[in-house]
Structure 1
Amino acid sequence: MTKEESNQKNIDSEIHNSASESKQNNSTKKSHGEILKEQICEGQETYNKKPSSIILSSVTAGLEIGFSYLLICNLFYFLSDKFSETTIFKAIALVYPIGFILVILGQSILFTEQTSLLTLPVLNRKRSLNSLFKIWSLVIFGNLIGGFLIALTLIWIGPNLKLFDIKTIETIALHVIKPDSFTILISAILAGWLMGLLSWLLSSATETISRIFIIFLITGTMSFTGLHHSIIGNVEVFSGMISSENIEFLDYIRFQSLALFGNAIGGAFFVALLKYRAFIYNVDIN
């Protein structure tokens, strides 16, 4: 057995032992190793799914996240003549998490939530880097397609039900793409970091109410601070692009590429340097 194989065996054994000890203690607080093992297993489950299943689940997530957009537009339109735009964009944090709650508790596959989960099996040498990029591509494709479909639906039904108007769609989209490219990239990295943290925290929680609170806390923070999320941002900017002459295709491509890249970096960075590496540094691999 090579030194590299021996090191990996020690890491796997330590993760397993840490998880087993936590269960034997019947503690309500899960150990680092137990959470890490659950995250790796959950990531592996996604890898084991058929591509058609992954795409369908990802499309579903893209559709479901649209309910956040529906509420965002409706709230903005409702408050537009009562408060300033700055105040309204802060208040949006109250409804922004709804779509994420539907997606995550419904176990649909959302790219930003899965970024860290899918990275862990690669870090633990259970999957290859090529397989990671392949599955990321499938999930992103499904999420974007679902976003396109719900955007087309909402920009039609919203004005017809007088929930919001085209001006609202344009204002929200312009607000999302307003920062310069570097700002959007860093903002997306921070959002990806938070989503990686969300996945980790959800493994620590067992009760549904606790999970809902955690999702609300993390995604509400993203909304309140204006951090860029590639999947709900896809719905926001795509809707604006097809509804307004002030938002061009290049604006959409600029935002979407930066947001996806930033979210991916944030999620992978969070897992690689602050959770997985922190754990294995405590493993004796000499």
Structure 2
Amino acid sequence: MVSTHYMLKKKNNETEEQKNIDEELKKSESSELTHAKSHGEILKQQIIEGQETYDKNPISILLSSFTAGLEIGFSYLLICTLFFFLQGKVEEDTIIKLLSFVYPVGFIMVILGQSILFTEHTSLLTLPVLNKKRTLHSLLKLWGLVILGNLIGGYAIAFSLVWIGPHLGIFDLKTVEKIAIHVTNYDNTVIFVSAILAGWLMGLLSWLIAASKSTLSRIVLIFMITAVLAFTGLHHSIVGNVEVFAGLISSPEITIIEYVVFICLALLGNALGGAFFVALLKYRAFVYDVE
């Protein structure tokens, strides 16, 4: 009897706490002095956008994710083209750093075009679960759908670019191999931790875009965050999927096992970085303020 009473009391307290959180989110407004969005307003916008994604038709989500996987390939096209163009003129270590100037292009296309990219939506889709509007099962199901679309789109663009690049003379298969080796040539622990940091940055990018009010500021933010990823060599699962899969289909140096291990580590790390370091911490910071 005491145990039942305790459980009912705990459930009532949790329900009351959730009501308080929802009320605070409804009251959240921009600062009148700075015209900047408040923490609560950004959080509310992210939760609403996340819920809208949950409400979409699964086929629509899959097609949008597939489109994102294709579009992110334009970053890879420019990476290969610039790498090939600078070979023999600049040291390879320097070329790798210079690639950060073209790396953001695909992300700008995807994010401004409203296609669904896993890493940008990781924290966005986690917030409705933390806010008790959606279940963990529905989150994992949606993540799976988005990842599937992103990966298939990546495979399609990788096949296309590996064929068209050499025929146009803009890069060769040796370039494809070198880039794939550069991405995978790390211990598994390093790739995993690197992917966590990349997921953290991408989750933060989603938050910052919600805070911005103009297209220009969003382009600057996308360029800034994704250029940091490229310059530091942090592992992004969806771009990495194109880079490593292209190496797999064009070079014996990349094996199927290497590809599978890489993509699993990168996806898991990106998910952890976006869900924990951004979604959970940003949400709990707001909740503790309410409490």
The Cα offsets for residues 47-91 of structure 1, whole Å up to 9 and x where unpaired, read as 000100000000000000000000000000000111111100000
Instruction: Tell me what 1:214 maps to.
Output: 221
- Report the alpha carbon displacement of residue 28 of structure 1 after superposing the two structures with TM: 2.0
- Residues 118 and 143, structure 2, Cα contact 8 Å, conserved in 1: yes
Alignment partners' CA distance in 1, 2:54 and 2:33:
30
Instruction: Tell me what 1:132 maps to.
Output: 139
Alignment partners' CA distance in 2, 1:119 and 1:257:
19
How many residues are treated as equivalent by the alignment?
281
| Partner residue of 2:242 out of 235, 243, 256 | 235
Unpaired segments ≥5 residues, structure 2: 1-10
SS in 2 for 1:282: helix
Instruction: Tell me what 1:104 maps to.
Output: 111
Instruction: Tell me what 1:202 maps to.
Output: 209
The Cα offsets for residues 238-285 of structure 1, whole Å up to 9 and x where unpaired, read as 00001001110001001000000000000001234421111111013x
Unpaired segments ≥5 residues, structure 1: none
Q: Does 1:269 align with 2:276?
A: yes
Instruction: Tell me what 1:179 maps to.
Output: 186
Instruction: Tell me what 1:43 maps to.
Output: 50
Q: Does 1:52 align with 2:62?
A: no
TM-score by length of 1: 0.97
Q: Does 1:6 align with 2:13?
A: no
- Residues 127 and 280, structure 2, Cα contact 8 Å, conserved in 1: no
Question: Could you say which structure has the larger radius of gyration?
Answer: 2
TM-score by length of 2: 0.95
Instruction: Tell me what 2:153 maps to.
Output: 146
Q: 1:258 to 1:125 in 2, by over 3 A?
A: same
Name the amino acid aligned to 2:18.
Q
Q: What is the RMSD of the two structures over their aligned residues, measured on CA atoms?
A: 1.0
The Cα offsets for residues 14-60 of structure 1, whole Å up to 9 and x where unpaired, read as 111123xx27x375211000000000001011000010000000000
The Cα offsets for residues 193-236 of structure 1, whole Å up to 9 and x where unpaired, read as 00000000001111111000000000000000000000000000
Alignment partners' CA distance in 2, 1:60 and 1:206:
25
Q: Percent identity?
A: 65
The Cα offsets for residues 127-146 of structure 1, whole Å up to 9 and x where unpaired, read as 00000000000000000000
